[in-house]
């Protein structure tokens, strides 16, 4: 897998996890670009840095350029190229371009006429655009190229991790967005296909009526006149073939139409006419004429081949695929290998990698065209990369370990409902989790996660002291998150339900070892909706029962409680690459404690800003304010709190990430014992891997 040390921007608007409409993405002609692509198939010699290249095409001008790439290190399979590309000339040399990325066969890229041939392949749908991820780093435009949308989505998830190692936007919500967009595109395609089928019905009716009129007119002619017309039709058809061979399909179309007018009984003209209609992008009419081309003088395999191509051009993939696979099974020397190749392209485009590979292998076994063989080999290499990634992604066991060191100017006591202790010192934090994920599909995810976290506190000279360590909570958690991804209320959505159990151990009595002080059962429901491509809305409701096990506590101060929290997070991305975001948060909590002094209602609001930072890191700044009211407190209590947090996050490698955090909090309370200021500075590292 690609070492993600990137400040993301395809997935992913969707150029951050899947390449979006090329017209919406721009490359600045004044800035250099860096391309990155993981390609084990290009790693030919593990003892040296291999060389290769990718193709960039400007979707508006159609111009293409080759970008040479070098393996970053021996046997790494990671290829990088840094270039500056200008598709315009003169004063327009700094104009924006709209990039498309293609992976072409290496032999073709290295040939003298590669660019012209590759342009033809792109036009013929023999090369497919690759999903990519675009962002800007230190003035350099960076494109990471992927073999599937899932790979691009994974990169986007990595980018959005914050200091806690969690995505800013739930990956399942991003996947829901991708599925909804995919479904919307599929719906539009099917509607277009239905409209095309209706149009063909009308064309067919008109054509049959016209040919019937031609036959009636012919029946009125004498034998000599009919022979003269047939002879003239033959001559015109020969002229049409000459035009066709010269690449003048428009003139060829007109001539074949004239031949049909003169000799409507010769169905071979309908076949030839249909082919020229295909060449002139008149696909509906081409299908109709090819359907009407029957008889011994018509090559059925060639006819069906052009019919299938016409369906494919109209994005009627099901109809085209049926014909291509039928042609493949006929083992026709002229058309079966080409048909198998196109069937493989359709499967590859729809990410059906196993059948696509079978089609491309048929091409290699049966084709006599080295160019088609090269393209089939290239697709098989890309399928191998994509399948390797999918296998990695489906690993069901995920391990996470974290380690951190913080300085806390005023340690709070969990056992005393977060009362300040006025202890200042260093705290080591460490822990980890193991997740087993038996269900992971396009629409459903389910897993079990066992986690543990601990703190070890010392004074400012790193000396262990009992009063410090008596504030250290050891927390065990077990949760079973379920996520569903789809469409709700006409919006891409991810909905989750997570039951869980948590226990906290502390040395609250100050003697002996740590003991259980709280056992909690938790149920959380949440949903993330893609309101717009740049607006993600999350809503959550959590209910929990905290059973306090503290002894000798006055009845008014018992912390056992039923608690309900309603919260929302609204994320507004500020650029198409999703590298910057304004984040608004709000929550309302009702703590219905058994002790009247612990009952409270709390309202909290927060605002944050996410942005790229130096050294390919991500900076999140967050300002929060809260107000708590204790309606039944025996002496009366109201709290107000204001805090500022800065988090710098960097993904060092595929498995390692690091963070720096600084936070300040000021709390005022009508109870003097709960009024305090504190700041925390922390550095941490997280290791995550799947098996």
Q: What is the pLDDT of residues 409-458, one digit of tens each?
A: 999 888 777 888 889 999 999 999 999 999 887 788 899 999 999 999 99
What's the domain count of the chain?
3
Q: Is residue 171 part of a domain?
A: no
State whether 190 and 157 are in the same domain.
no
Share of the chain above pLDDT 90, in %: 34
pLDDT above 60: residue 93? no
Looking at 374, 390, 406, the residue that finishes a domain is: 390
C-beta of residue 457 within 8 angstroms of C-beta of residue 471: yes
Contact 465, 427 (CB under 8 A): no
**Same domain, yes or no: 71 and 208:** no
Same domain, 130 and 257: no
The range of the structural domain enclosing residue 435 comes to: 394-690
- pLDDT for 264: 81
Choice among 172-186, 505-519, 611-625 with the minimum mean pLDDT: 172-186
384 and 413 in a single domain? The answer is: no
User: Does 361 share its domain with 429?
Assistant: no
CATH code of the domain covering residue 382: 1.25.40.10
Q: Is the pLDDT confidence value at 121 over 80?
A: no
Query: Who has greater pLDDT, 77 or 423?
Result: 423
Name the band, by pLDDT with cuts 50, 70 and 90, for residue 165: very low
Domain of residue 612, CATH code? 2.40.160.40
Q: How confident is the model at residue 261 (pLDDT cuts 50, 70, 90)?
A: confident
Residue 221 lies in a domain: yes
Domain for residue 48, yes or no? yes
Is 174 a domain residue?
A: no
**Residues 545, 591: one domain?**
yes
Higher per-residue confidence, 589 vs 314: 589
If asked whether residues 579 and 510 sit together in one domain, one would say yes
Which of the four pLDDT bands, split at 50, 70 and 90, describes residue 95? Answer: low
> What number of other Cβ atoms are within 10 A of residue 89's Cβ?
8
Got the DSSP string for 294-329? Answer: -STTS-HHHHHHHHHHHHHHTT-HHHHHHHHHHHHH
Residues 414 and 456 in one domain: yes
Domain finish residue from 162, 194, 215: 162
- Pairwise pLDDT comparison (667 vs 149), residue with the higher score: 667
| Domain identity same for 594 and 469 | yes
Residue 499 lies in a domain: yes
Residue with more model confidence, 498 or 166: 498
- Give the pTM: 0.57
Residue 15 pLDDT grade (very low, low, confident, very high; cuts 50, 70, 90): very low
Q: Do 281 and 401 share a domain, yes or no?
A: no
Residue 246: which pLDDT band, with cuts at 50, 70 and 90?
A: confident
Do 544 and 649 share a domain, yes or no?
yes
| pLDDT at site 474 | 94
- pLDDT value at residue 452: 96
Q: Is 9 helix (H, G, I), strand (E, B) or coil?
A: coil
3-state helix, strand, coil in the chain (%, to 5): 35, 35, 30
Residue 565: pLDDT band with limits 50, 70, 90:
very high
Q: In whole angstroms, what is the distance from residue 475 CA to residue 478 CA?
A: 10
Both 98 and 137 in one domain: the answer is yes
Report how far apart, in Å, the C-alpha atoms of 575 and of each of 18, 159, 471, 534, 643 are.
16, 15, 44, 8, 27
Is residue 4 in a domain? no
The chain-wide mean pLDDT, for the chain, equals 82
Percent of the chain with pLDDT over 70: 84
The average pLDDT across 229-246 equals 87
Cα–chain-centroid distance for residue 390?
A: 13
* CB proximity list for 218: less than 8 A, separation 6 or greater: 226, 229, 264, 265
Per-residue model confidence (pLDDT) at position 668: 94
pLDDT at 203 over 80: yes
Cα Rg of the chain (Å, integer): 33
Residue 90 covered by a domain? yes
């Amino acid at each position: 897998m690609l070492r993600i040390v990137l400040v993301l921007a395809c997935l992913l608007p969707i150029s951050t996890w899947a390449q979006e409409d090329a017209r919406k993405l721009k490359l600045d002609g004044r800035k250099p670009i860096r391309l990155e692509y993981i390609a084990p198939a290009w790693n030919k010699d593990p003892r040296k840095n291999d060389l290769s290249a990718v193709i960039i095409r400007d979707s508006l001008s159609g111009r293409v350029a080759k970008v040479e790439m070098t393996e970053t290190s021996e046997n790494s399979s990671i290829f990088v190229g840094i270039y500056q590309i200008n598709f315009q000339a003169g004063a327009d040399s700094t104009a924006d371009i709209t990039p498309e990325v293609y992976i072409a066969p290496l032999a073709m890229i290295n040939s003298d006429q590669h660019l012209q041939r590759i342009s033809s392949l792109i036009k013929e749908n023999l090369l497919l655009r690759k999903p990519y991820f675009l962002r800007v780093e230190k003035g350099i435009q960076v494109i990471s190229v992927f073999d599937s949308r899932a790979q691009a989505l994974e990169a986007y998830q990595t980018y959005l991790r914050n200091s806690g190692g969690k995505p800013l936007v739930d990956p399942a919500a991003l996947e829901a967005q991708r599925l909804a967009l995919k479904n919307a595109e599929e719906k539009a395609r099917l509607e277009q296909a239905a409209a095309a089928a209706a149009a063909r019905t009308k064309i067919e009716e008109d054509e049959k009526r016209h040919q019937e009129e031609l036959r009636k007119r012919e029946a009125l002619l004498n034998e000599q006149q009919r022979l003269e017309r047939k002879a003239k039709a033959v001559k015109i058809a020969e002229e049409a073939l000459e035009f066709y061979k010269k690449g003048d399909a428009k003139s060829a179309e007109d001539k074949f139409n004239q031949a049909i007018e003169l000799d409507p009984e010769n169905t071979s003209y309908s076949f030839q006419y249909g082919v020229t209609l295909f060449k002139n992008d008149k696909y509906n009419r081409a299908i109709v004429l090819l359907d009407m081309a029957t008889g011994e003088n018509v090559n059925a395999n060639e006819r069906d081949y052009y019919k299938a191509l016409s369906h494919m051009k109209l994005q009627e993939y099901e109809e085209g695929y049926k014909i291509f696979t039928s042609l493949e099974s006929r083992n026709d020397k002229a058309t079966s290998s080409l048909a198998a190749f196109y069937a493989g392209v359709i499967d590859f485009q729809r990410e059906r990698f196993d059948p696509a590979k079978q089609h491309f292998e048929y091409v290699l076994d049966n084709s006599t065209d080295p160019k088609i063989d090269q393209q089939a080999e290239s697709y098989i290499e890309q399928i191998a990369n994509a399948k390797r990634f999918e296998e990695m992604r489906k690993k069901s066991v995920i391990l996470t370990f974290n380690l951190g060191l913080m300085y806390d100017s005023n340690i709070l006591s969990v056992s005393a409902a977060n009362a300040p202790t006025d202890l200042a010192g260093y705290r080591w934090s460490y822990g980890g989790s193991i997740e087993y994920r038996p269900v992971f599909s396009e629409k459903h995810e389910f897993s079990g996660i066992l986690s543990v976290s601990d703190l070890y506190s010392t004074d400012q000279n790193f000396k262990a002291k009992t009063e410090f360590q008596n504030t250290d909570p050891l927390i065990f958690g077990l949760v079973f998150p379920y996520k569903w991804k789809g469409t709700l209320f006409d919006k891409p959505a991810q909905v989750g339900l997570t039951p869980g159990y948590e226990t906290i151990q502390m040395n609250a009595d100050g003697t002996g070892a740590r003991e259980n002080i709280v056992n909690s059962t938790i149920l959380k429901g949440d949903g993330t909706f893609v309101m717009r491509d740049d607006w993600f809305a999350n809503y959550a409701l959590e209910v929990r029962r905290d059973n306090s096990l503290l002894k000798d506590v006055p009845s008014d101060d018992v912390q056992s409680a039923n608690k309900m929290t309603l919260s929302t997070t609204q994320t507004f991305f500020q650029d198409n690459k999703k590298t910057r975001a304004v984040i608004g948060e709000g929550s309302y909590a009702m703590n219905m404690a058994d002790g009247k002094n612990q009952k409270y209602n709390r309202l909290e609001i927060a605002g944050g800003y996410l942005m790229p930072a130096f050294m390919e890191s991500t900076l999140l700044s967050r300002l929060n304010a809260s107000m708590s009211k204790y309606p039944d407190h025996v002496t009366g209590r109201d709290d107000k709190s204001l805090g500022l947090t800065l988090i710098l996050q960097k993904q060092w490698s595929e498995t390692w990430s690091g963070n720096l955090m600084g936070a300040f909090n000021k709390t005022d309370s009508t109870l003097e014992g709960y009024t305090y200021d504190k700041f925390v500075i922390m550095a941490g590292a997280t290791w995550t891997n799947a098996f």
